[in-house]
Structure 1
Amino acid sequence: MTAPETMQYKMVFCDIDGTLIDSTNRISPGTRQKIQELYRIGIPFILVSARMPSGILPLQRELGIKAPIVCYSGALILNERADPVRTVGIDREKAILIDDFVKRNWKHVCCSAYCHHDWISDNIHDKWILQEQSITASVPKEGRISDFIPQNGHIHKLLCMGEAGAIADLNNALKENFAGLSVYRSKDTYLEIMDGAVSKSGAVKYLCKAYDIPMEATVSFGDNFNDMDMLLVTGTCFAMGNAPAEVKRQVRNVTADNDHEGVLAGLERLNFAENRR
């Protein structure tokens, strides 16, 4: 199917890893220029990611735009001033139980927690922590959930990293042993764990309401299964060329891969409604 070329779009939602950035974690100059053009005519370009704020805000500054950002796949939304406007989390005691469950039964899986601007790990020198730090430029704090999260507090996300087979087994075990969670693999070696009420599509709906923009006037870009609910809820959507075949089959449009400016190619196929503020 082709994108409805005659529609005038008013808002863009874009995943980061595997979508906006290439395999060297860079944004192409052409993509950056196009996003700045949209910003100048009043089109909000919303970065949507499982990352924490410190892994998203530098990219937004690089783009030279101001807009809300969606962190932790929708568990935390920050407004244009980087103030929290929506937060949904796993309560402290449940998060501690999940963390203990993982560490007790999957000793070679690295489990860390995120809350607002804090990334918490009991071993900041673990190879998986160092790898994630090199990708996102975020800096972890050493300790346990109980050291940082107050009573009656919550965390936004648990991230489990390990070999693909162990992550697949852990994915199944968590779904069998814990209710009310959103659990998905963002890649073969990463398992994201959030409250069951969290979704990228929920963040899209929240921001559309906040901006008074109809869903049919929105477009989204993503590359993996964890983007599917966002892709399917927006007015039109693009799966990246590097997306799994099943993702491509379910969406309206497929663009080039993230190493060949797929976001730019998709944006250039669409018309946008000027909205100078």
Structure 2
Amino acid sequence: MYQCILSDIDGTLLTDDHHMSPKTRDAIKSLDIPFLPVSARSPEGIYPILKENDIVCPMICFSGGLILDEKGQVLYENGMNYKQTEEVITFIKEKKFDCTINIYALHDWLVEDKEDPRVLREERIVKAEAQKGTLSSLDPSRKIHKLLCMCNPLYTKEIERSLKERFPHCSIACSSDILIEIMNEGVTKADAINHLCDYYSINKQDIVAFGDNYNDKEMLESVGMGIAMGNAPDDIKNIANDVTSTNNQDGIFNALQKLNII
């Protein structure tokens, strides 16, 4: 019997217009086992979704770099230190990549230009507001949970390759054709699931996880039932245990019903 449900957010839990469908919302609220959103988003990018749908639950943020319980207390974190973060930012600027750098440290989201169209677009999507600032705005002792590069889609793959070559020990993944997530070594959604299993005293084989993109691959492979959305790339569908309908066609609801969980 499955003991926990995990779901990526964008392209999975939410429809393309960034809302949870009524069927998906009602299915989640009817669960008698833990449900957790698992996302590259910050806590501030997840809370509005939960509030809008009257859901209270723990969450895995920053692609596995942070786990918060239902009261917002930190259960686990893995972040870059100041020096590591500074090296990555310096490299991006020296290479003059066509991208905007976003710095995330727990509840802080820092950008150099608040009027950058890419930042404004992200604010609209996640319903959170960035703060004007740089790395030097933060206390050097703080952990940096994520750097996000908002890229020109023509160069995203090229930028990703360059970053992976220069920083092989960082955890780097594309979460869309314009977004590159940069986290500390060892940060993955799958690693966070290991810590979650310890917390709940459950086995990974008893977990159902939903995802739609390449940064969900390890998560889908690590659990007992990894389900790819119908809108996922074929590479992701091929490694999943099952494929459900798309995020716009109540994919999570349909899969939970098929598994007799709801």
The aligned counterpart of 1:5 is none
Unaligned runs of 5+ in 1: 1-7
Q: After superposition, what is the alpha-carbon deviation per residue over 1:59-83, rounded to whole angstroms, capped at 9, x for unaligned?
A: 2233333321001011011011111
Q: How many residues align?
A: 262
CA displacement, residues 86-139 of structure 1 (integer Å, 9 cap, x when unaligned): 111111111112112212322531111100000010111111101111100111
- Of residues 30, 35, 47, the one that matches 1:37 is 30
Task: Assess, with a 3 A threshold, how the Cα gap between structure 1 residues 87 and 229 changes in structure 2: closer, same or farther.
Answer: same
Please point out which of 229, 235, 239 is paired with 1:240.
229
TM-score, normalisation: structure 1: 0.91
Partner of 1:97: helix, strand, or coil? helix
The answer to whether the aligner puts 1:263 opposite 2:252 as a matched pair is yes
Provide, for residues 233-277 of structure 1, a one-character-per-residue CA deviation record: whole Å limited to 9, x for no partner.
11112100000011111111000001101011111111349xxxx
Choose the corresponding residue for 1:208, options 181, 186, 197: 197
Letter in 2 for 1:32: R
Q: Which has the higher contact order (CA 8 A, sep 6+)?
A: 1
- Corresponding residue number in structure 2 for 1:4: none
Bigger CA radius of gyration: 1
Please state if 1:198 is matched with 2:169. Answer: no
1:98 correspondence with 2:91: no
Q: What is the match of residue 27 of structure 1?
A: 20
| Displacement of 1:51 | 0.2
Paired AA for residue 183 in structure 1: I
> Counterparts of 1:1-277 in structure 2 under 5 Å?
8-38=1-31, 41=32, 43-148=33-138, 150-272=139-261
Equivalent-residue separation in structure 2 for 1:271 and 1:212 (angstroms): 23
CA distance in 1, matches of 2:261, 2:11: 24
Cα 1:211–1:108 shift into 2, 3 Å = same
Cα offset, 1:55, TM superposition: 0.8
CA RMSD of aligned residues (A): 1.4
Q: Percent identity?
A: 36
Amino acid in structure 1 at the alignment position of 2:20 = I
Q: TM-score, normalised by structure 2?
A: 0.96
- Asked if 2 retains the 8 angstrom alpha-carbon contact of 1:9 and 1:270, the reply is no
